[in-house]
Amino acid sequence: MPAKVTINPNGSIRIEGEFTIQDSEGTPFGLAGRTAIGLCRCGQSANKPFCDGSHKRTGFESVCPARELPPPQPK
Protein backbone atom coordinates (compact mmCIF):
# COMPACT_ATOMS: atom_id res chain seq x y z
CA MET A 1 0.00 0.00 0.00
CA PRO A 2 1.45 3.42 -0.88
CA ALA A 3 2.14 5.79 2.00
CA LYS A 4 -0.76 7.88 3.29
CA VAL A 5 0.00 10.94 5.41
CA THR A 6 -2.67 12.45 7.69
CA ILE A 7 -2.26 15.71 9.61
CA ASN A 8 -4.25 15.09 12.78
CA PRO A 9 -5.99 18.13 14.28
CA ASN A 10 -4.10 19.26 17.41
CA GLY A 11 -1.90 16.17 17.17
CA SER A 12 0.62 14.14 15.25
CA ILE A 13 1.37 13.52 11.60
CA ARG A 14 0.29 9.92 10.98
CA ILE A 15 2.00 7.91 8.25
CA GLU A 16 0.51 4.60 7.12
CA GLY A 17 1.48 2.12 4.41
CA GLU A 18 4.91 1.40 2.95
CA PHE A 19 7.45 4.01 3.99
CA THR A 20 10.87 4.54 5.51
CA ILE A 21 11.98 7.30 7.86
CA GLN A 22 15.60 8.40 7.84
CA ASP A 23 17.68 11.03 9.60
CA SER A 24 19.47 13.89 7.84
CA GLU A 25 22.47 11.62 7.21
CA GLY A 26 20.28 9.10 5.35
CA THR A 27 20.39 6.51 8.14
CA PRO A 28 17.01 4.77 8.44
CA PHE A 29 15.18 4.45 11.75
CA GLY A 30 14.46 0.84 12.68
CA LEU A 31 10.67 0.71 12.71
CA ALA A 32 10.39 -2.97 13.72
CA GLY A 33 7.94 -3.75 10.94
CA ARG A 34 5.48 -0.97 11.77
CA THR A 35 3.17 0.07 8.93
CA ALA A 36 1.80 3.10 10.83
CA ILE A 37 3.64 5.70 12.89
CA GLY A 38 2.93 9.11 14.41
CA LEU A 39 5.41 11.95 14.02
CA CYS A 40 5.55 14.78 16.56
CA ARG A 41 4.30 18.24 15.53
CA CYS A 42 4.24 19.94 18.94
CA GLY A 43 7.98 19.67 19.59
CA GLN A 44 7.49 18.31 23.11
CA SER A 45 7.88 14.56 22.53
CA ALA A 46 10.57 12.81 24.56
CA ASN A 47 10.84 10.34 21.66
CA LYS A 48 11.39 12.74 18.71
CA PRO A 49 10.72 12.52 15.84
CA PHE A 50 7.96 10.16 17.01
CA CYS A 51 4.84 11.27 18.84
CA ASP A 52 4.48 10.23 22.49
CA GLY A 53 1.18 12.04 23.15
CA SER A 54 2.79 15.13 24.71
CA HIS A 55 0.58 17.37 22.58
CA LYS A 56 -2.37 16.42 24.81
CA ARG A 57 -0.54 17.42 28.00
CA THR A 58 0.80 20.70 26.61
CA GLY A 59 -2.41 21.86 24.94
CA PHE A 60 -0.90 21.96 21.44
CA GLU A 61 -3.37 23.38 18.92
CA SER A 62 -3.00 23.34 15.15
CA VAL A 63 -5.60 22.51 12.54
CA CYS A 64 -4.40 22.21 8.93
CA PRO A 65 -7.28 21.81 6.46
CA ALA A 66 -6.35 20.54 2.99
CA ARG A 67 -5.81 23.16 0.29
CA GLU A 68 -4.35 23.52 -3.17
CA LEU A 69 -0.75 24.68 -3.35
CA PRO A 70 0.43 27.01 -6.11
CA PRO A 71 2.65 25.48 -8.79
CA PRO A 72 6.34 25.34 -7.86
CA GLN A 73 8.55 28.16 -9.06
CA PRO A 74 10.94 27.25 -11.90
CA LYS A 75 14.52 26.71 -10.78
- Asked if residue 75 is part of any domain, the answer here is no
Domain hosting residue 48, numbered range? 1-64
Q: What is the pLDDT of residue 1?
A: 85
- Asked if residue 40 is part of any domain, the answer here is yes
pLDDT along the chain (75 residues), means of 10: 96 97 97 97 97 97 96 94
pTM (predicted TM-score): 0.89
Q: What is the tally of structural domains in the chain?
A: 1
- Asked if residue 8 is part of any domain, the answer here is yes
CATH (domain of 43): 3.40.5.90
Distances (CA, A) of 14 to 6, 48, 72, 73: 5, 14, 25, 28
Contacts of 18 (CB under 8 A, 6+ apart): 1, 2, 3, 35
- Asked if residue 73 is part of any domain, the answer here is no
